[in-house]
Amino acid sequence: MFARMSAVLILGAALCSGGAAQEKKKTGKDILLSGTLTGLEQVSRHAVELRKDENYAVEVEARGFFANVEVQDGNGNTILHSSRFSAFQPKQDGAYRLLVSSPGGSSGQYTITIRQLSLSKEPTGVITVGKDGFVLDTLLNSSDPPDKVRKTPCRVYQLQMHAGKTYVIDMISKNFDAYLRLEDAAGNKLTQDDDSGGGNNARMKWVCKADGVYRVIATTFGRGTGLFTLKLREEETAAPPIDKDKDKK
């Protein structure tokens, strides 16, 4: 799912004054940044060239302590703050600074993994679910518009439904607690779900009462964002049993 990382890593001496024994590696699809926080050097700095409107994922791993990474643009503005996994879209081409620290002042080794994401093309109109269903691999960003109900970032998709058909809608994510809601064209809530898909995945099952365009709101139960998969399908309805006695009449 992840495309080859095209960003060029820059580790200038002026940016690497904090931390110790920092290292870079490129392993196929990923770029790895590593270093060590010490009692004397509590902030470690890296820099990376990123491209406008590309989707990137940043994952932080530390051995035996909590580490945070802050991503700043060229003007020093913070665009991301994460302690585990986060994804974002740079607003302009250029060098971005990564500052690694520990909120408790702990020390130890850490690794940052940066990936450039290859996502599905977002639908621009009404989605029609065919016989093979519909699958979308996409990204929930902290900059996405807030859901009117939960006030959390959300994505809204329009779905054509037909009376009498049963629709199954799944939202699957390893990065955050998925949450789904279904509305009619007027914005009235029809159903919602948090964890029916197992784990942190959401699933809604809905029998449509009338033909029309409905709204699927994909959001999060908490404040987490990241990658998710949206799956839409029609559930096959079993044929009614044959009344053999009726045929004999």
CATH number at residue 201: 2.60.120.380
Instruction: Looking at the structure, tell me whether residues 81 and 176 fall in a common domain.
Output: no
Cα–Cα distance between 104 and 120 in angstroms, integer? Answer: 39
Cβ atoms of 44 and 18 within 8 Å: the answer is yes
Instruction: Looking at the structure, tell me whether residues 187 and 160 fall in a common domain.
Output: yes
Using the 3D structure, point to which of 66, 85, 116 is the last residue of a domain: 116
* Mean pLDDT, rounded, for 131-149: 90
Give the residue numbers spanning the domain of 74. 9-116
**54 by DSSP, 3-state: which?**
coil
pLDDT at 84: 75
- Bridging pattern class, strands 9-10 and 85-88: unpaired
Instruction: Looking at the structure, tell me whether residues 92 and 162 fall in a common domain.
Output: no
Positive/negative CA dihedral, 103, 54, 51, 6: positive
Instruction: Looking at the structure, tell me whether residues 223 and 134 fall in a common domain.
Output: yes
Number of domains observed in the structure of the chain: 2
Instruction: Looking at the structure, tell me whether residues 211 and 132 fall in a common domain.
Output: yes
Using the 3D structure, point to which of 61, 87, 116 is the last residue of a domain: 116
pLDDT at 21 over 60: no
pLDDT at 244 over 80: no
pLDDT tier for residue 39 given thresholds of 50, 70 and 90 = confident
* pTM of the full structure: 0.67
Task: Establish if 2 belongs to a structural domain.
Answer: no
User: Can you give the length of the chain in residues?
Assistant: 249
Using the 3D structure, point to which of 64, 95, 116 is the last residue of a domain: 116
Q: What is the pLDDT of residues 83-135, one digit of tens each?
A: 777 777 788 999 999 999 998 888 999 999 988 888 888 899 999 998 889 99
pLDDT at 11: 30
Give 5's DSSP letter.
Answer: P
Instruction: Looking at the structure, tell me whether residues 140 and 66 fall in a common domain.
Output: no
Instruction: Looking at the structure, tell me whether residues 112 and 131 fall in a common domain.
Output: no
Task: Establish if 202 belongs to a structural domain.
Answer: yes
Task: Establish if 244 belongs to a structural domain.
Answer: no
Query: Which one has a higher pLDDT value, 137 or 40?
Result: 137
Tokens representing residue 146 in the block: 């807030």
Task: Establish if 74 belongs to a structural domain.
Answer: yes
Cβ atoms of 146 and 152 within 8 Å: the answer is yes
Cα–Cα distance between 89 and 16 in angstroms, integer? Answer: 24
pLDDT at 240: 52
Task: Establish if 111 belongs to a structural domain.
Answer: yes
Instruction: Looking at the structure, tell me whether residues 85 and 153 fall in a common domain.
Output: no
Cβ atoms of 231 and 173 within 8 Å: the answer is no
Instruction: Looking at the structure, tell me whether residues 228 and 131 fall in a common domain.
Output: yes
